[in-house]
Structure 1
């Protein structure tokens, strides 16, 4: 698995940004977000139970991420057509403000080292990538366990200070000073 300090791989994926099939699909690559922070979060499968709770929560925090000059991108190994159908059917996903990307060929999941070999899907993973394309944070959980998007936002805040941040540090609090 790629880890802290590694360069996030280049990619070119189809994304779903609307429920209207006429303008639902866009092409997205890592180059679209050069010089910006990026948060990539992967979920195993569409039309499941844990995944929409996380995706919807990331959606609720979208403005908080963009206020930090950060692009938020959700990804699974399902096709863009499956993403569209799920977005159209599931109320809490209908108005997501970020793209749902399709890693159908599993190239990005494989390059990152997060493809679950037994299930053949992306593991439940998060990567925070700095403006230079370097991975600064990773988290992978069991397929059955949802993440805490607020914790991802807290870690992003800490990374953006470029200071030493103690346990449970929150934005606006003092950072550590080495004497």
Structure 2
């Protein structure tokens, strides 16, 4: 088990995982890796388990905001430690998940979640972790919620906007607002 937590300023770990990318027969699965996000902004969000209650609300909200991410030249990736077959079955059986536009990564070995340091101690499922990764593969923001608390997708977009300005953004800053100018002494 990893002793560290991957955090801001660190390189996002290398990975290659089987993922559900479609419910179309014959095109359901694809390998997703770092190569798919190299040179681009990426948001990877994790949920604890498929076929649960809070998770589909988050996944559906990320999907509703998919174009908000692509408009920011950002790749959206979802992940859990469930298998690609469980992901596929869940997509097929849950109306809010059938038309997802981003991959559901299957970290069945739990190796990536372990390397990130986001596995719960008891069940060894992923916490609700969200990573914003810059085009150089560096983690620029991470937020981890407890298993029972859903995240705020609007906040993920707000932070992504702030990071993409590459400027100083004050508390509660939103896209379109003025950034801060450092005092020149």
TM-score bracket for this pair, using the shorter chain length: over 0.9
Distance 1:168 1:65 in 2: 20
CA drift at 1:21: 3.5
Structure 2 CA distance, aligned partners of 1:7 and 1:46? 28
Runs of 4+ with deviation above 3 angstroms: none
C-alpha distance in 1 between matches for 2:25 and 2:115: 30
Q: Which string of whole-angstrom CA distances, capped at 9 and with x for unpartnered residues, describes residues 120-143 of structure 1?
A: 111110000000000000000110
Q: 1:10 matched to which residue of 2? A: 14
Shift of 1:20: 2.4
Residue equivalent to 1:84:
88
Residue 58 of structure 1 pairs with residue 62 of structure 2: yes
Q: What TM-score do you get using the length of structure 1 for normalisation?
A: 0.98
Alpha-carbon distance in structure 1 between the residues aligned to 2:172 and 2:28: 39
Distance 2:32 2:182 in 1: 42
SS at the partner of 1:116? coil
1:108 correspondence with 2:106: no
When the two structures are superposed, what TM-score results if normalisation uses the length of structure 2? 0.95
Residue in structure 1 matching 2:131, options 107, 127, 130? 127
Instruction: Please give the alpha-carbon distance, in whole angstroms, between the structure 2 residues aligned to 1:91 and 1:18.
Output: 14
- Aligned residue-pair number: 179
Structure 1: 5+ residue stretches without partners: none
Task: Show structure 2 runs of 5+ residues with no match.
Answer: none
What root-mean-square deviation, in Å, do the aligned CA atoms of Structure 1 and Structure 2 show?
0.7
